[in-house]
Amino acid sequence: SGAPAAEWGGFEDNMQSGGSAVIDMENMDDTSGSSFEDMGEMHQRMKEEEEEEEAESEAGAGEEEDGEFLGMKGLRGQLGRQVADQMWQVGKRQASRAFSLYANIDILRPYFDVEPVQVRARLLESMIPVKMINFPQKIAGELYGPLMLVFTLVAILLHGMKTSDTIIREGTLMGTAIGTCFGYWLGVSSFMYFLAYLCNAQITMVQMLSLLGYGLFGHCITLFVTYNIHFHSLFYIFWLVVGGLSTLRMVAVLVSRTVGHTQRLILCGTLAALHMLFLLYLHFAYHKVVEGILDTLEGPNMLPFQRVARDIPVVSNAVLNTTAKTIALTL
């Protein structure tokens, strides 16, 4: 009985141990099932998180692309504005520079910066023809002396109009004299400069203005003398001597600056003819031309209108008297 009891006790122990093992397996199976479920849930969560991250990354990439696009547009607009501003500033600077260039009187200062002694010496030199024509002669590049000679010629013309028999009815002749003198100086200088350019003469526009302006010194002397001493023979003498010397001076300077016999002949012959004929025009035809212009613009010299008493005929007097009597009777 002792042995079966011991066996029975061992069997119970084995059963208990087997039951605990079965329980442990069940527990282990439950644990393993829960762990598998957890792993599935974790995997699902990780998948959802990855999908969310991918969606967020795609949204971020789209926003970055939009930002880059908008940034490029903004950059282009900013560059366009900068270029437009730079172009405006450059144009404004050039316009202000051009305006200051033409408005600044300092530009003309070198052409009028001359001493009276130099002007006097150049006036005397304008009456002395040069002998050396093998090399270019020096021409003064200043305009003070020529400008003063033009104004002097204007004053001499006005003086000649007053001392002559020209009748000045209205206004003054200063405008006509200024237009004639300045028109000759500027017009002939421009024409001769163009002709000198065609003939390959080495001369500038300022030098041509100076040369022709100083050449008017002989005209001033001739007209001043002949307007006060009215002798045609005296005028012809001064025209040939004084006017001829000033013309020869200009011709010699142009010859020294021109290459070629044909070019010299064309250029110098044109200048000599214009200069000498202008002096003849000022002495003989200028007054008549001005009188003709005044007659054309103002009309002939007519007396002003006057009131003249007209005679009333006898018939009209009788009619008036009868009308007056009839009105008096009715009243």
**How many residues in the chain?**
331
pLDDT digits over 22-59, tens only?
A: 444 444 444 444 444 455 566 677 777 777 777 766 66
Asked if 226 and 234 count as a contact pair (C-beta separation under 8 A), the reply is yes
Place of tokens 């437009």: 84
**Sign of torsion, CA 222 225 226 232?**
negative
Residue 153: which residues within 8 A CB-CB, separation 6 or more?
181, 216, 219, 220, 223
What is the pTM for the complete model shown?
Answer: 0.58
Residues 6+ apart with CB under 8 A from 192: 208, 212, 267, 270, 271
Extract the residue ranges of the chain whose pLDDT is less than 70. 1-43, 56-77, 95-106, 164-173, 290-331
One-letter amino acid at 277 equals L
